[in-house]
A and B are shown apart, each in its own frame.
Chain A
Amino acid sequence: MISTVACAPVRKISYRQSDDVDTSPVSMGFAIPAYARLSKGTRFLNIESSVAVLLSYESDSRLDDVVTTVTRAWNPKGVWLYGEAVVAKTVSKYDAVVKGLLGRGPVVVTDSESTTASPRIDAVRHVHNLKQYEASISRSKALDYMFEVVEEAFAQSDVEMLNCLLYTAARELKGTTLSVSLLRATFRARSELSMWKPLRDVTQNALSGHVDGKKLLRGLLG
Chain B
Amino acid sequence: MILQLKDYAGSGVGVVISGSTEQRHAGFIFQQNDKVEILHLAWHFMLMLDTPESYRSNHNLGEFCAYVCDDLLESQAEEVISFLSMIWRRNRNAIPYGIGSDGIDTFFDLDGSVASQAPGEGLTCATFVMSVFSKLGFPVIDSSDWQDRPEDAKWREGILNALRRHPHYQDHADAQERHIRQAHRFRPEEVVGCAALLDDVPQGFLQALESGQRVLHDMTLKGVMRGVDATPSA
Residues of A within 8 A of B (CB): 139-140, 143-144, 146-148, 151-152, 154-155, 177, 180-181, 183-185, 187-189, 192, 212, 215-216, 218-220
Contact = CB atoms under 8 A, between A and B. Distances in A.
A48 B22 CA distance: 68
Nearest to A212: B73
Given A151-B86, A219-B138, 11 more contacts: A140-B81, A143-B81, A143-B82, A144-B85, A146-B82, A147-B112, A177-B75, A184-B137, A185-B79, A185-B136, A187-B137
B78 interface: yes
Interface residues of B, number: 25
B127 to A, nearest CB: 16
B90 interface: yes
Interface string B69-99: 0010101101101110110001000000000
Given A139-B78, A181-B75, A215-B73, A154 B139 contact: no
Interface stretch (B49-57, B103-111, B152-160, B224-232): B103-111
B135 interface: yes
A140 B86 contact: no
A166 B56 CA distance: 42
B113 interface: yes
B145 interface: no
A143 B111 contact: no
A158 B187 CA distance: 37
B135 A188 contact: yes
Nearest to A220: B137
A154 B112 contact: yes
B110 A188 contact: yes
Interface of A is mostly: helix
B151 interface: no
24 contacts: A140-B81, A143-B81, A147-B83, A147-B85, A151-B86, A151-B90, A151-B111, A154-B109, A154-B112, A155-B113, A181-B78, A181-B79, A184-B76, A184-B136, A184-B137, A187-B135, A187-B136, A187-B137, A215-B71, A215-B73, A215-B200, A216-B73, A218-B137, A219-B137
Nearest to A178: B75
B50 to A, nearest CB: 20
Contacts of A144: 82, 85-86
B81 A155 contact: no
B203 to A, nearest CB: 14
A180 B32 CA distance: 21
A3 B136 CA distance: 30
Nearest to A155: B111
Contacts of A148: 86
A185 B83 contact: yes
A218 B138 contact: yes
